[in-house]
Amino acid sequence: MVQYQPPMEWTQWVDWLAAGLHGQNRWRLSLIITGILFARGRRTVTTWLRAAGIQDDYAGYYYFLQPLARKAKHLAGRLLLLMQLVTGNRVLFAIDDSPTKRYGPQVQGAGIHHNPTPGPAGQKYLYGHIWVTISLVIRHPLWHTIGLPLLGVMYVRAKDIANIPRRYKWRFRTKLQLAAKQMLKFAEMAKTAGKTVWVVADGAYANGPFIKPLRKAGITVVSRLRKNGKLFTVPRPVKKRGRGQPRKYGAKRMYLAPRAAHRLGYTFVKRNRKVPMLETFDVPNPDVSIAQRDTTTVAPQALFLLNSQFTQQQAMAFARRIDQEVGSEPGAQVDRAFRLALMRLPSATEQQTSLEYMSRTATQLLAAASHVEAEADGSAPTLTDKQVAMRSLASLCVVLFNVNEFVYVD
């Protein structure tokens, strides 16, 4: 067998993960994880053992994987506790389906599923297993945003459960039920450590069995609308209320399927009527065909984001939303503005600087209003305290619209 000396941190992490395993075999986990990291080609147990240099006693590792699989949820929980050391104040999870192909009619739990990656051959279906995979999303200094899989829960269709032996007592659960049940357990662990929990999923999970229990537990869910979602327009206001409850939805149905294939990627353009804002930000010339869009960084772009009427209107609308959600307390307003604009809380320095900026802006607004009122001999309207507070908050929103973290995509 290959002899090697892993780093000290590696040894500590593996010892932490293996703490719940049987003491007679827990030492094998380090070699298994090493093989998983360095394996090439198809990700099978054989390639893991070959990459770790295991030649003798390979049968013992096969037998070790069976009880290890039964403790997969326990290991995932310990791994989550370990990874919370580098996640900051917020823990972000991602949920999606992961298919694995299998061959042979005797593979338990296997069935025909939709293939999310058909490839050049256009293979719409595959035979194998579908795993509801929960990953922890973190930001790496070199690889940027990456997802680290924590746990995969196998989904078996209702028609395929009959092929599983009864001794396993397998019960049918939908993908949404599997994801919600395990996500609630992970969220409880994260909240115990004082973290806020967010979950990102695709449109297939944007349904009641998944969203309702998570929202009840105080978890923020980010997803796309389902293309077959049943949506209606907003009801018209009525002058005189009649009998019964007021309408929640309008009379007309909204269909998302025609809009699901694109994200406003195409629109009608009048060539002789150009939009000045788009001209500032390198809009392509509609009269000619170009292979690559020009990218420039010039002063008019920054001036537009600071002084344009569009930016000022959006900043005031943003300020009204913040005031409605958290009230008029400046500290809470700063926290909410950063959370909505930058998806994070401000640091202590940013919090202090933002509060000082809002206070300084309010003082300048009052001084300017007093000057105008003096020149107009008292005929000019005065600013109320509420208006001054809203304008100073809107000014802070303009600043947030111009920081690099908001303008540029990683």
Domain end marker among 20, 41, 70: 70
- The pLDDT assigned to 122 comes to 75
Domain membership flag for residue 269? no
Cα gap 325→348, rounded to integer Å: 22
Domain membership flag for residue 271? no
Cα gap 290→249, rounded to integer Å: 45
Strand-pair category, 125-140 with 111-114: antiparallel
Contact 305, 280 (CB under 8 A): no
Q: Is the per-residue pLDDT at 315 higher than 80?
A: yes
- The pLDDT assigned to 73 comes to 84
Between helix 58-70 and helix 28-38 the angle, nearest 10°, is 90
Cα gap 195→72, rounded to integer Å: 23
Q: How far is CA 396 from CA 95, 303, 346, 393, in A?
A: 35, 16, 13, 5
Across the chain, mean pLDDT equals 82
Domain membership flag for residue 281? no
Q: What's the predicted TM-score (pTM) here?
A: 0.57
Cα gap 183→324, rounded to integer Å: 31
Q: What b/e sequence results for 188-207 when a residue is b if at least 16 CB atoms lie within 10 Å of its CB, and e otherwise?
A: ebbeeeebbbbbbbeebbbb
- The pLDDT assigned to 232 comes to 78
Residue 124: pLDDT band with limits 50, 70, 90: confident
Domain end marker among 70, 91, 106: 70
- The pLDDT assigned to 261 comes to 46
Do 60 and 106 fall into the same domain? no
> Using one digit for the tens of pLDDT, what is the confidence trace for 276-300?
777 777 777 766 666 677 777 788 8
- The pLDDT assigned to 2 comes to 54
- The pLDDT assigned to 265 comes to 46
Domain membership flag for residue 244? no
Mean pLDDT of 201-227: 87
Please state the domain count of the chain.
3
Name the β-bridge partners of 154. Answer: 131
Residue 272: pLDDT band with limits 50, 70, 90: low
Domain end marker among 30, 45, 70: 70
Do 129 and 161 fall into the same domain? yes
In this structure, what CATH number is given to the domain that contains residue 87? 3.90.350.10
Domain membership flag for residue 231? no
Q: Is the per-residue pLDDT at 264 higher than 50?
A: no
Percent of the chain topping pLDDT 70: 87
Do 200 and 330 fall into the same domain? no
Q: What b/e sequence results for 225-243 when a residue is b if at least 16 CB atoms lie within 10 Å of its CB, and e otherwise?
A: ebeeeeeeeeeeeeeeeee
Do 49 and 108 fall into the same domain? no
Do 361 and 311 fall into the same domain? yes
Q: Is the per-residue pLDDT at 262 higher than 50?
A: no
Domain that holds residue 331: 303-407
Domain membership flag for residue 238? no
Do 78 and 161 fall into the same domain? yes
Do 62 and 102 fall into the same domain? no
Domain membership flag for residue 287? no
